[in-house]
Amino acid sequence: MAACAEDGCEQSAAVRLHVPWDANRDVCTAHARALVQQDGVVAEPLEGAGENWR
């Protein structure tokens, strides 16, 4: 699995964020929880990343 796209994070990516004003990115569940609260951001679970859900 790929690492989280957020700087300094070494967790495995489990969620793809679709960000209307920026590039889509794959992030860990902790970053997804925070970032998906912004208007327009949509989270999509990554296939095969079930063990990375925390």
Domain ranges of the chain: 15-52
Both tokens of 54, joined, read: 């925390």
**Alpha carbon separation from 34 to 29, 39 (Å, rounded):** 9, 12
Q: What is the dihedral of CA 44, 30, 48, 10, to 10 degrees?
A: 130
The answer to whether residue 51 scores a pLDDT higher than 80 is no
Tokens of 11: 């967790």
pLDDT, mean of residues 13-30 = 95
Q: Which percentage of the chain shows pLDDT scores above 90? A: 81
Average pLDDT over residues 12-26: 95
User: Percent of the chain, pLDDT > 70?
Assistant: 89
pLDDT at 49 over 90: no
What pLDDT score was predicted for residue 11? 93
pTM of the shown model: 0.84
Q: What are the structure tokens assigned to 4, written together?
A: 């989280």
